[in-house]
A = this chain, B = another copy of it.
Amino acid sequence: MSFEITILGCGSASPTSFRNPSAQLVQVQERLFLIDCGEGTQVQIRKHKIRMQKINHIFISHLHGDHYFGLVGLLSTFHLLGRDKELHVYGPEDLKNIIYTQLKSSKTYLKYGLHFHALNFSEQQLLFEDKRVEVYSFPMRHSIEVCGFLIQEKTKPRKINRKAVDTYEVPVYELNNIKDGADYVMEDGKVIDNATLTFEPNSSMSYAYCSDTSYYPLIAESIQNVSLLYHEATFGKELEKLAKQTKHSTAEQAALIAKESNAKQLLLGHYSARYIDLNVLLDEAKEVFENTLLASDGMKISL
């Protein structure tokens, strides 16, 4: 699976017996990112048989409890299970104190390196980058400071044209350079153009996580052409006033952001517990943006 999202929880405010608070795993070419970590996330991870020690980066959007009350428990469990690999946590500055106060009170001295990175809420920020993937945060609007996250693959390696490579007898050690776009120079000096030796790479995928936020059109600028947008839809438009007041979004507003950002697909979540049948939210969003799905706990989406 090259790019897969697993929804661990898509409820809001308090966990209920039928919907867990916010948490999701994003797997990109063997990297496992955790976004938000509401209460009960570690049990959700176990239920879905995910190898939790493969998570090396955790992103916390904001400090409402339904987005992070499971974090310190997860960090403790990593420790109890003998983790020694480093872990990076990105979140609001206060989170560092919240974590260390609790570790100190339980006299827990982590066996692994925990690196805390404070988020900047005023502008887009590159949080993580390696050869294949980038993770950005970007500003949103809520009752407390909050960031969205954008996870995107860099341009993928070009695909080797086996037949052409055989024809020109390209040695194996040249292949990585060629995948990266290099031409091949033969022994006699003749240059074989990269386009002759390769096909276009697979498209690069991207995923944006927007929860919690009021309707905030500037989000669209941060996530143009995203492959999949997860946007909170706490309420239906019949409760637009309440959405505005509590700085949440309606399903229709989530769809507007999907449209304005030219997203390929929209995934709704962070539903108010008052919605048992979620089709009212789905229908409302589809009026504006047809390619919309409802998130549910345990759902997996491959891009």
Contacts and interface: CB of A to CB of B under 8 A. Distances in A.
A208 to B, nearest CB: 24
A107 interface: yes
Interface string A15-39: 1110000000000000000000001
Task: Select the residue from A76, A102, A143 with max chain B CB neighbours within 10 A.
Answer: A102
Nearest to A67: B106
Contacts of A144: 105-107
B39 A73 contact: yes
Nearest to A15: B43
Interface residues of A, number: 35
Interface stretch (A90-98, A187-195, A215-223, A294-302): A90-98
A163 interface: no
A40 interface: yes
Interface in A230-246: none
A15 B40 CA distance: 9
Interface string A34-56: 00000110110011000000000
Nearest to A20: B43
A122 interface: no
A102 B106 contact: no
Given A14-B42, A14-B80, A39-B42, A98 B102 contact: yes
Interface of A: 13-17, 39-40, 42-43, 46-47, 63-65, 69-70, 72-73, 76-77, 80-81, 92, 94-95, 97-98, 101-102, 104-107, 143-144
A144 B40 CA distance: 25
> Which of A15, A69, A143 neighbours the largest number of chain B CB atoms within 10 Å of its CB?
A69
A26 to B, nearest CB: 22
Contacts of A70: 39
Closest 6 CB pairs of A and B: A14-B77, A63-B105, A94-B105, A69-B73, A39-B73, A17-B46
A107 B143 contact: yes
Contacts of A107: 143-144
Contacts of A43: 15-17, 39-40
A46 to B, nearest CB: 5
Contact of A65 (B14, B17, B47, B76): B76
B69 A14 contact: no
A34 to B, nearest CB: 16
Contacts of A101: 94, 97-98, 101
